Amino acid sequence: MSVLSAQQIKAYSEDGFFFAREMFSAEEIHLLRETATNDHAMDQAASLRDDGTGASVRLSLWNHPGDGIYGMFARSHRIVDAVEQLLEDEVYHYHSKMILKDAKVGGAWAWHQDYGYWYQNGLLFPDLCSVMIAVDKATEQNGCLQVLQGSHRMGRVNHILSGDQAGADVERVEHAKKRFPLIHCSMDAGDALFFHPNLLHASAANLSDHPRWALICCYNARSNDPYKESHHPSYTKLDKVEDDMIVRVGQDDARRSRVDFANLDSDDRSATSLADEQPS
Ligand code: SIN
Ligand code: MN
């Protein structure tokens, strides 16, 4: 199904990202934020990553979308049909994560490419796509995502583990910053950003009084099924849902927070490879 404009497809190919403004309604985002902020299990599952300056970033991650509101976003035709159009293939849910960048304390993310980590997971091609949905308004002040426009065309860059975070080779990032425009991805709640797994991205600490939470749903092409098992799933059929399911499930107290969080500390940190250390 064609859901994206020719301009969006061109931007994804040339810039490595595009915005889908107001992709989700105020009601959908209100239900998502309310569910997530009251979700004790999400809070408990959150893993802290030292950003090297004393501040930490917090995130919770799940591999299978589930039947709750998080799954209704990740399985919605609205997102999945668009990603299938970009990747020109059936796609499946690779994982989702909530970035919990809290007011005053939320730390920074080092410059990286998601495929810099995911490459370790037996994926032969960078045929993946991430969709970041702003749960809160994201600004330069509260540490919005920053991207180097067009940097996905560099291909995969080596990633080096430093402290709790793996970052792209700093020398290359410094040169890339001179060649590609740095874009601060200011977003209103409900806006979405589609981005390529080789796009260099980072974010600064949140020194403001406002949280900057974001849901990121990641997809892999069926034809890019990994050749070995990892902590993220191999091809698993994704059951798409109608778009109105977000509100319907979001209004159902018994169901809305249902999802199985991954235990990032025991599942990922015990392993020694870059990928196992880094869920992003
Ligand atoms: C961010 O939200 O600042 C980056 C998160 C990520 O790269 O997964
Ligand atoms: Mn990332």
Report pLDDT digits (tens) over 58-113: 999 999 999 999 999 999 999 999 999 999 999 999 999 999 999 988 889 999 99
Residue 57 pLDDT grade (very low, low, confident, very high; cuts 50, 70, 90): confident
Q: What is the mean pLDDT of residues 8-25?
A: 98
In terms of Cβ atoms closer than 10 Å to its own Cβ (0-12, 13-18, 19+), residue 139 is middle
**pLDDT per residue as tens digits for the range 209-245:** 999 999 999 999 999 999 999 999 999 999 999 999 9
Beta strands in the chain (DSSP E): 17-20, 47-50, 56-62, 91-101, 109-112, 128-134, 145-148, 159-162, 165-168, 182-184, 192-195, 201-203, 212-221
Q: Which of 116, 41, 109, 32 is nearest to 74 (CA)?
A: 32
203: CA distance to ligand 1 center in Å? 7
159: CA distance to ligand 1 center in Å? 16
- What pLDDT score was predicted for residue 277? 42
| CB of residue 99 inside a 6 A radius of ligand 1 | yes
| pTM more than 0.75 | yes
- What pLDDT score was predicted for residue 272? 38
| CB of residue 202 inside a 6 A radius of ligand 1 | no
Task: Calculate the average pLDDT of the chain.
Answer: 93
Residues with CB under 5 A from ligand 2 (ion): 114, 280
Residue 52 pLDDT grade (very low, low, confident, very high; cuts 50, 70, 90): confident
Residue with the nearest Cα to atom 7 of ligand 1? 280
Residue 105 CA to residue 190 CA, distance in Å, equals 23
| CB of residue 180 inside a 6 A radius of ligand 1 | no
Residue with the nearest Cα to atom 8 of ligand 1? 280
| CB of residue 145 inside a 6 A radius of ligand 1 | yes
Domains of the chain: 6-223+242-277 (2.60.120.620)
Pocket test for ligand 1, best of 145, 151, 159, 164 (most atoms within 8 A of CB): 145
Counting ligands in written order, the one closest to the CA of 97 is 1
278: CA distance to ligand 2 center in Å? 9
**pLDDT per residue as tens digits for the range 146-190:** 999 999 999 999 998 876 778 999 999 999 999 999 999 999 999
